[in-house]
Amino acid sequence: MISRRSRWSWYFYDFGNSAYASIILLAVFSAYFKNTVVGGAEGTRLWGIAVGIAAVAVALISPILGTIADFTKFKKKFLFAFTVLSVVFTALLFFVREGDVFSGMLFFILAEIGYRASQVFYDALLADVSTPDTIGAISGKGWAMGMVGGIIALVLVIPIQLTNNVDNTPYAFLIAAGFFLLSAIPTFLWVREIHEAEKLPENESVLLHAFKNLAKTFRSVKSYKEFIKYTVSFLVYNDGIMMLMDFAAIIGATLFGLGMIELVIFVILIQITGAVGALIFGRIADKKSGKVAVLYSLLVLIVSIGALFFIPNHVQIWFFVVGAFAGFSLSGAQAVSRGMVVQLAPPEKTAEFYGFLSVAGRTSTFIGPLVFGTLSFRMHNWAVNNGLENAEEYGMLWGVGSIIAFLLVGGLLLMFVKRIQTNGQVTEFEAETEADIEADIEVD
């Protein structure tokens, strides 16, 4: 029996880590790094590189860690370790000032590695606080709690931004670190890993067994055909989502002249609409399917971002309107996507399959920021060389177009994934027997 306290404790981790996402990625540090620490189009390029490096690091380590977590049932211990890593280096961003490009990138990369790697284990705990019939709703509620946490964290930093003193901005990073740490405590105290740990074979270390299991996963995962098709589509559309999150503040500041306080208010707005979106799309996933919910959310997101091309520059109110719809659909897509992994993965290999997805997703997210940053930077230079006005804005629009391309292609690929039921019916994917899977492995 899954206790209500365990479920709410799981929600509170989302509540806390959204402070990092809201303050560091969305509203404050990304724009601070681009405009103050570096400056100009070069700041956009270096921000993309920093995000990409962290993505590759997580892609390399998370499959092994996910495998270890599965058979040792150490998901909470790894979650704790990476949470501490993120919190410590988020706090150290306080010391990053104008011109501190190296330390700014280093501290952010380590904080981002902790944040992204911890999500592998946090998402894997979803199976321990839900049932197959409630995965969509609980995932959506967790995401909604995250939106609320992000809003509260941003409200706390508003007084700092109202001072209009850039030297005070780093205090926001201390708030993000403290908020994250305190909100994560209930998860470590009261969430229970309900599955029994597997026994290690004789004469095998934990690490050796992890590599063996991981190799088997990579050989067997192709037998889960719907999971593979979903992974490919997720790899592409999630790249678009991550690009939008990583560059939202930079887009707002460059195209619409948003200052720090406007960016904070903007992110609060998309957190509010995001909470509603997570709940609504979670319900759609439970009543229809995760696939349908994600497709709906991607459609709204593509239309919202596309509207940026038709809004006159510096008309901020329309950017806020577009952001409201984008936040609504973006959160819905993310909340449902993680629930689909639980539906598609064997229960005893949840963290391992999350690790596999992380290889695709995190490696892919290196490509996205690199494409955005490089394309924006090079088109900016092209505009300068050809005497065009507003060269930086011109380059930024090319970056926005690349986001739409990733979302569109990912949505089209998702249409090939067979409809996933959540009402207890056995799908063709779920009906594959262990013997079939083992037979496929033997053939290899």
Residue 266 lies in a domain: yes
- Over range 7-19, report the average pLDDT: 93
Residue 204 lies in a domain: no
CATH number at residue 178: 1.20.1250.20
Write down the pLDDT at residue 428.
Answer: 39
pLDDT digits (tens, 9 = 90+) for 189-232: 999 887 666 677 777 777 777 777 767 777 767 777 778 888 88
- Over range 165-184, report the average pLDDT: 95
Q: Which of 23-37, 56-70, 274-288, 363-377 has the lowest mean pLDDT?
A: 56-70
Residue 205 lies in a domain: no
SS3 track for 356-410: HHHHHHHHHHHHHHHHHHHHHHHHHHHHHHCCCCCHHHHHHHHHHHHHHHHHHHH
Residue 203 lies in a domain: no
Asked if residue 360 lies in contact with residue 410, where contact means CB atoms within 8 angstroms, the answer is: no
Residue 228 lies in a domain: yes
Residue 235 lies in a domain: yes
In terms of phi and psi (left: phi > 0; alpha: psi -120 to 50; beta: otherwise), the region of 40 is: left
Q: Which of 88-97, 184-193, 343-352 has the highest mean pLDDT?
A: 88-97
* pTM, to two decimals: 0.78
pLDDT digits (tens, 9 = 90+) for 236-279: 998 898 888 888 888 988 888 888 889 889 888 887 888 788 78
Q: Which of 145-154, 209-218, 382-391 has the lowest mean pLDDT?
A: 209-218
Range of the domain at 180: 4-196+219-443
- Over range 296-301, report the average pLDDT: 94
Neighbours of 90 (CB within 10 A): 30
Any residues with CB less than 8 A from the CB of 30 and at least 6 apart, and which? Answer: 24, 47, 246, 247, 248, 249, 250
Number of domains in the chain: 1
Residue 301 lies in a domain: yes
- Over range 22-40, report the average pLDDT: 91
Write down the pLDDT at residue 176.
Answer: 97
Write down the pLDDT at residue 164.
Answer: 81
- Which ranges constitute the DSSP H helices of 93-224? 101-124, 135-162, 171-190, 206-220
Residue 214 lies in a domain: no
Q: Which of 271-285, 330-344, 376-390 has the lowest mean pLDDT?
A: 330-344
